[in-house]
Amino acid sequence: MNPDRWQRIKEVLDVCLRLAPSERDEYLARRCEGDTDLRDEVVSLIDAYQSAGDLLEPQPPSPPSDTLLGTLLGPYKIAEHIGDGGMGAVYRGLRADEVFEKEVAVKVVRRGLDLDYMVRHFRLERQIMASLDHPNIARLLDGGTTPDGLPYFVMEFIHGQAIDAYCDQHKLDLRVRLALFCSVCRAVEFAHRLGIVHRDIKPGNILVTSDGVPKLLDFGIAKILRPDHVPARDSVTTVTPAMTPEYASPEQVRGERVTETTDIYSLGVLLCELLTGRRPDANERIKLPKDLANIVLMAVRPEPERRYQSAALFEDDIRRHLEGLPVAARRDSILYRASKFLRRQKTIALSAAAGLAIPALILLGLQIRDRWMESSAQPQIIPLTTMQGKEFHPAFSPDGLRIAYAASGETGENTDIYVQAINGSQVMRLTTNPAEDVSPAWSPDGSRIAWLRMGKQETAIFVSPSMGGVHGKVADLFPARIDVVGRQLDWSPDGNWLATSDKPSDGQPFRIVLIGARDGSKHELTLPPEKIIGDVSPAFSPDGKDVAFIRAVSSGVNDVYVASVAGGTVRRVTFDNRYLLSLTWGPGGRSILFSSQRRGNYALWTTSISGGTPVRVPMVSENATDPAFSRDGRKMAYAQFFEDTNIWRFDLEGREQPRKIVASTQYDSSPQYSPDGKRIAFRSSRSGSSEIWICDYEGRSPTQLTHFGGTLTGTPRWSPDGTQIAFDSRPDGQPDIFIMSANGGEPRRVTTDPLEDVVPSWSRDGNWIYFASHRTGAWQVWRAPAASGPEQQVTRLGGFAAFESPDATFLYYAKARNEAGLWRKRLPDGPEEEFIPELKAGFWGYWAVGAKGIYFMDWPAPGKPVELWLQSASRVRIGTVDGPPEPADSAFALSPDGRHVLYTQVDHSGSDILILDHYRAR
């Protein structure tokens, strides 16, 4: 075929393909008269074209995430890919459970978004969104990260149709459309009252079920995808707006602050589209009855403050229209602009004329406004701090206008005291000392602030004027405070005393002491039983007659007590035996609020001091701590923390970069390889409380082994034959060692001493279980026969976290949780020698003994990389990892083949201070 011939064929072919089949023959006959070759050629090409279908047609790229199909994300099996959105792929998932099978929608965020930021904020948001329980809102059920590190959200699966398509397909009339829209408004109003803005309302996010019930999807997710404050990051990843331009308000498009009225705008666009089939256009009149057009126009005004101020008001206006009543919406006319202008002129004229009278008027106006606000005010949560790092220990000034708190700064290297106005962003830094300054407390007249300074050498109470100035030391305290967490200082209402936790010497429990605010004199208020951690976190009752505090029997076994300041009685208020972080008195002094793991994760609970069952503080999400009230009891400040701790793998042969192996948005730590290297046991709080889990060596198919539900359960250790796992737990408040089959079943209690028995490990022959016990009043290594029999003390000079060497000739151990150095003694009962003096204090869980020697981790300083070392005849630095480590746990494991180590790393952590305004005491 030559080019000219092809051109001719093409012409004929082109025409034929555009003709109806019935007309082709005639055209061909006419056009190809005398040229049957041409005719045959064209006919054969028409045939070829018709059978070609979409041959060679470019298709949109399919998502590369098909690898998820059939896999498990948490408990959800990914069954089907059902669509793609701006945010990523959507799957149908099934929760397979013993009891029932539940259908869910799983949204996997696509690459390219700011994943780090999302993961970090995901937990915080999820807690808030979990409170969104409304018949017209699809529930967010769960979330996490895929094995590839992509965040995913699990939502209620809605069988339905987008609201616009639903209206059109069912040919709904105007009134029904309006009624449907009113349901949507009510759902939006509900969420707004909880302080949650949708940010991406559009028809595709509102599905109507076959019963005609509208359901809003993705509530709050947009916030995770595109938070208000996008941190400045290197510009490699551009944050893709999680909004849909056609429905986004002008302020949203400009990237300004998003409020409830942003959703009102999107609702206005949606209403217009549902009623007219088109979105509102400034250059076009809306073809609707006048009132309805005005309603739409009011909702989509460019100035947020001139729209409906709530979804309820929006709905109300529609109802008025439906009932034939006059609506509130007015046309935005020249009159409006003119009156606005006039008002401005008038105010200026008035101020000039009335001079001093104006402030009084304004004040009066403000008071009236305040009272009105109060009567109609809903409780709401307002963030006070949003800095990077941790902000905690909030304390209201007596006038309620300022909050003092401790903050770690962005890199967490220096914790200091700050003072901030509650309705502004003015922040004053009160201290700059390199020591850790925490637990600020105001003097009752507001003139001074006292705080705890914890330095390398000393721990002491300091005081300074609350506006800043000279710092003075009030009293020295016992320095080693490793087991003491939460706020540790309160000022008595009469101004005479500072309450804190202190002890006279090591080996004794902490007690609550009252320190004279003027002379620094010390008076012990409580005398707890020996050998326990002690009494901590004191708080004066509003009348100053009592002090509430936490009695810590051991880590994770705490309860609330009250002591009378006059002396004498100490009463126990709670009976939970769980982790408690901090407490405060409720307004009125009849209740105590505390942060506890009494049901799952940390949350705020309130209990009456006369007894009774504690009740969860409403609206405040999980991981809240450090509650504090303003003196009038209307505002409660608290710290909201998040921590994402994951298990990473380091390749000792350098074949791969350090890689996250076991990850969830919750706490994952304490890994250990099974003896065959195929499985990993670890501790995780992904079920809501700390339990033992098992996954394969790549972190896949995690399954929960223990089900204690609530108490701290950790430090899993495989028996040498791989059939059993030893661990520690505290089901009844008594920390002991347990053993259970690695395949599940009933745990068996091995130790029964009332004091702490923790951190087990097996002898290489499998006959003994070593553990650390505090039963003598100091940490020592003990061992118990794995079968049964009496326990034996192994160390005399201190010992914690023991492991036998692979050839069972040496026992290696640290001294105590807060002591430096790794020691060893020859088995069965040789003298002990210090083996690695440099093992950092607190790093008792960051070493492992293998055939080549001891691997251990060192962290020169916060902000520096974490170093991995091998100590044998000499010491070799193997490499570095990012850190920071999680030194409060056993967090290190060597694979049996000696090729990998696992270690725990805190990938994200921080805390912010929030204020719950209009708190209502129950």
19 binds another protein (CB under 8 A): no
Please state, in angstroms and rounded to a whole number, the distance separating the CA atoms of residues 703 and 742.
11
69 binds another protein (CB under 8 A): yes
The C-alpha torsion from 671 through 760 and 835 to 795, rounded to 10°, is 170
What's the min distance (Å) between Cβ of 150 and another protein? 15
Residue with tokens 């019935």: 22
- Please say which residue, 7 or 505, places its beta carbon nearer to another protein: 7
Exposure string of 694-725, with b = 16+ CB inside 10 Å and e = fewer, is: bbebebeebeebbebebbbbbbbbbbeebebb
What's the min distance (Å) between Cβ of 62 and another protein? 7
Question: Which window, 43-51, 281-289, 707-715, 726-734, contacts another protein (CB under 8 A)?
Answer: 43-51
What's the min distance (Å) between Cβ of 96 and another protein? 21
Respond yes or no on whether the N-terminal peptide bond of residue 444 is cis (omega within 30° of 0).
no
- Would you call 486 helix, strand, or coil by DSSP? coil
Residue with tokens 């000739």: 809
- Would you call 306 helix, strand, or coil by DSSP? helix
Q: Using an 8 Å Cβ cutoff, are 229 and 238 in contact? A: no
User: Would you state the structure tokens that stand for residue 589, as one six-digit string?
Assistant: 């002094």
- Please say which residue, 64 or 618, places its beta carbon nearer to another protein: 64
User: Would you state the structure tokens that stand for residue 324, as one six-digit string?
Assistant: 């034939």
Per-residue contact flags (x/-) with another protein for residues 695 to 724, judged by CB under 8 A: ------------------------------
- Please say which residue, 13 or 422, places its beta carbon nearer to another protein: 13
Per-residue contact flags (x/-) with another protein for residues 572 to 601, judged by CB under 8 A: ------------------------------
Question: Which window, 45-53, 306-314, 673-681, 912-920, contacts another protein (CB under 8 A)?
Answer: 45-53
The C-alpha torsion from 16 through 22 and 23 to 26, rounded to 10°, is 100
What's the min distance (Å) between Cβ of 80 and another protein? 15
Question: Which window, 52-60, 196-204, 210-218, 907-915, contacts another protein (CB under 8 A)?
Answer: 52-60
521 binds another protein (CB under 8 A): no
When binding is defined by CB under 8 A, the residue of 19, 29, 52, 366 that contacts another protein is: 52
What's the min distance (Å) between Cβ of 155 and another protein? 25
Q: Using an 8 Å Cβ cutoff, are 819 and 836 in contact? A: no
- Please say which residue, 64 or 383, places its beta carbon nearer to another protein: 64
The C-alpha torsion from 754 through 758 and 761 to 765, rounded to 10°, is 0
Identify the H or E element spanning 206.
strand 206-209
User: Would you state the structure tokens that stand for residue 490, as one six-digit string?
Assistant: 């309160």
Question: Which window, 22-30, 47-55, 478-486, 534-542, contacts another protein (CB under 8 A)?
Answer: 47-55
- Would you call 510 helix, strand, or coil by DSSP? strand
568 binds another protein (CB under 8 A): no
What's the min distance (Å) between Cβ of 249 and another protein? 24
Question: Which window, 59-67, 116-124, 138-146, 387-395, contacts another protein (CB under 8 A)?
Answer: 59-67
What's the min distance (Å) between Cβ of 19 and another protein? 13
20 binds another protein (CB under 8 A): no
- Would you call 915 helix, strand, or coil by DSSP? strand
447 binds another protein (CB under 8 A): no
111 binds another protein (CB under 8 A): no
Question: Which window, 39-47, 152-160, 608-616, 905-913, contacts another protein (CB under 8 A)?
Answer: 39-47
Please state, in angstroms and rounded to a whole number, the distance separating the CA atoms of residues 345 and 691.
68
35 binds another protein (CB under 8 A): no
Q: Give which of 903, 901, 840, 841 is closest to 870, Cα–Cα.
A: 901
Exposure string of 109-120, with b = 16+ CB inside 10 Å and e = fewer, is: bbeebbbbbbbb
51 binds another protein (CB under 8 A): yes
When binding is defined by CB under 8 A, the residue of 33, 35, 40, 49 that contacts another protein is: 49
787 binds another protein (CB under 8 A): no
149 binds another protein (CB under 8 A): no
Please state, in angstroms and rounded to a whole number, the distance separating the CA atoms of residues 155 and 216.
11
Alpha helix locations (H) across 538-641?
Answer: none
21 binds another protein (CB under 8 A): no
Please state, in angstroms and rounded to a whole number, the distance separating the CA atoms of residues 584 and 574.
14
When binding is defined by CB under 8 A, the residue of 24, 27, 39, 46 that contacts another protein is: 46
48 binds another protein (CB under 8 A): yes
When binding is defined by CB under 8 A, the residue of 31, 45, 95, 464 that contacts another protein is: 45
55 binds another protein (CB under 8 A): yes
Per-residue contact flags (x/-) with another protein for residues 448 to 467, judged by CB under 8 A: --------------------
What's the min distance (Å) between Cβ of 650 and another protein? 21
What's the min distance (Å) between Cβ of 53 and another protein? 9
When binding is defined by CB under 8 A, the residue of 19, 25, 67, 354 that contacts another protein is: 67
58 binds another protein (CB under 8 A): yes
User: What is the separation, in whole angstroms, between the first and last Cα of the chain?
Assistant: 91
Identify the H or E element spanning 44.
helix 36-52
- Please say which residue, 52 or 876, places its beta carbon nearer to another protein: 52
What's the min distance (Å) between Cβ of 57 and another protein? 6
Contacts of 590 (CB under 8 A, 6+ apart): 608, 609, 610
What's the min distance (Å) between Cβ of 14 and another protein? 5
- Please say which residue, 48 or 366, places its beta carbon nearer to another protein: 48
Question: Which window, 51-59, 201-209, 773-781, 819-827, contacts another protein (CB under 8 A)?
Answer: 51-59
* DSSP code, position 241: P
In 742-852, DSSP assigns E strands to: 748-749, 757-762, 768-773, 780-785, 792-793, 800-804, 810-814, 822-826, 832-836, 847-850
Number of residues that bind another protein (CB under 8 A): 30
Question: Which window, 38-46, 410-418, 686-694, 892-900, contacts another protein (CB under 8 A)?
Answer: 38-46
What's the min distance (Å) between Cβ of 250 and another protein? 23
What's 837-892 look like in SS3?
Answer: CCCCCCCCCCEEEECCEEEEEECCCCCCCEEEEEECCCEEEEEEECCCECCCCCCE
744 binds another protein (CB under 8 A): no
56 binds another protein (CB under 8 A): yes
- Please say which residue, 69 or 253, places its beta carbon nearer to another protein: 69
Please state, in angstroms and rounded to a whole number, the distance separating the CA atoms of residues 800 and 773.
8
Q: Give which of 692, 671, 698 is closest to 890, Cα–Cα.
A: 671
When binding is defined by CB under 8 A, the residue of 33, 35, 40, 66 that contacts another protein is: 66
Question: Which window, 62-70, 415-423, 599-607, 631-639, contacts another protein (CB under 8 A)?
Answer: 62-70
How many other C-beta atoms lie within 10 A of the C-beta of residue 9?
Answer: 16
- Please say which residue, 40 or 256, places its beta carbon nearer to another protein: 40
Contacts of 156 (CB under 8 A, 6+ apart): 104, 105, 138, 139, 140, 141, 215
What's the min distance (Å) between Cβ of 94 and another protein? 19
Contacts of 212 (CB under 8 A, 6+ apart): 180
Burial class from Cβ neighbours inside 10 Å (0-12, 13-18, 19+) for residue 568 reads exposed
- Please say which residue, 46 or 570, places its beta carbon nearer to another protein: 46
Applying the rule CB under 8 A, the residues between 217 and 256 that interact with another protein are 238
Chain residues binding another protein by CB under 8 A are 1-3, 5-7, 10, 13-14, 17, 44-49, 51-52, 55-59, 61-62, 64, 66-67, 69, 238
